A and B are shown apart, each in its own frame.
Chain A
């Protein structure tokens, strides 16, 4: 079985400040980890993924995430938040031999304020 935990339902940050959205996972075998963003009444937009290689992954719109195997974490970060980053963020995991099924976290609502 595989699972994802996003411990924060909502994260508030001031524009210009760094942001972190937390994600921890549980999977047997090697994980494939993803971050997606969803705006109201829209589908998911891909931000970044970790498949293999460097633990620090850089993605779209200035976001990055660090794969930490010992802590089974894949936190999403951005050095300087924008109001337009306000959205719902999902972390997801799949695994080798898992039939390519993605398991999603419960989502974290990011609110960036002026």
Chain B
């Protein structure tokens, strides 16, 4: 149980194009999903928290207009990197939160490798 998928697993795009990454909780409903970014050999940096049916909450320094997050249902959240540039190349990981009584446990997707040429 508690499986989270991401699609695509990797994507290469040209500079200036937009890329959409999907995050799905396959066997549970996730009221909260999280998007992280990871640079090579570095830790995960939280980009934003999305709650189903409401606007995402972005961490300080993350451009809302560049990283569009939509959490349209309890099992799907999407991250769209708009007008991508080479500096947006990174490993993007989502997680989905499942209520476990008094805390919310996060289950992580396998990640999406984005390369912008």
B112 to A: closest C-beta gap in Å: 9
B72 to A: closest C-beta gap in Å: 20
| B104 near A100: Cβ-Cβ < 8 Å | yes
| B111 near A42: Cβ-Cβ < 8 Å | yes
| A104 near B111: Cβ-Cβ < 8 Å | no
Which of A36, A46, A51 is within 8 Å of B103, CB to CB? A51
Binds A, one of B11-19, B43-51, B62-70, B78-86: B43-51
| A90 near B103: Cβ-Cβ < 8 Å | no
| B46 near A101: Cβ-Cβ < 8 Å | yes
In B91-117, the 8 Å CB interface with A consists of 91, 93, 95, 97, 102-111, 113
A107–B39 Cα gap in the complex (Å)?
12
A61 to B: closest C-beta gap in Å: 17
Q: Knowing A41-B111, A42-B110, A43-B109 touch, does A102 contact B46 (C-beta < 8 A)?
A: yes
| B107 near A90: Cβ-Cβ < 8 Å | no
Sort chain A's interface into a size bin. 20 to 34
Output the nearest chain B residue to A36 by Cβ-Cβ distance. B108
| A107 near B42: Cβ-Cβ < 8 Å | yes
- Total residues of chain B contacting the partner, CB 8 A: 25
Residues of B within 8 A of A102 (CB): 34, 46, 95, 106
A58–B97 Cα gap in the complex (Å)?
22
In A18-37, the 8 Å CB interface with B consists of 32, 36
Which of A45, A94, A105 is within 8 Å of B43, CB to CB? A105
| A44 near B108: Cβ-Cβ < 8 Å | yes
A selection of 7 A-B contacts at a CB cut-off of 8 Å is A43-B4, A45-B108, A99-B49, A100-B106, A102-B34, A106-B43, A107-B41
A32–B41 Cα gap in the complex (Å)?
25
Q: Is A12 on the interface with B (CB-CB < 8 A)?
A: no
Q: Knowing A41-B111, A43-B111 touch, does A90 contact B97 (C-beta < 8 A)?
A: no
| A106 near B104: Cβ-Cβ < 8 Å | no
B6 to A: closest C-beta gap in Å: 8
Output the nearest chain B residue to A88 by Cβ-Cβ distance. B41
Residues of A within 8 A of B97 (CB): 100
Output the nearest chain A residue to B6 by Cβ-Cβ distance. A43
Residues of A within 8 A of B110 (CB): 42-43
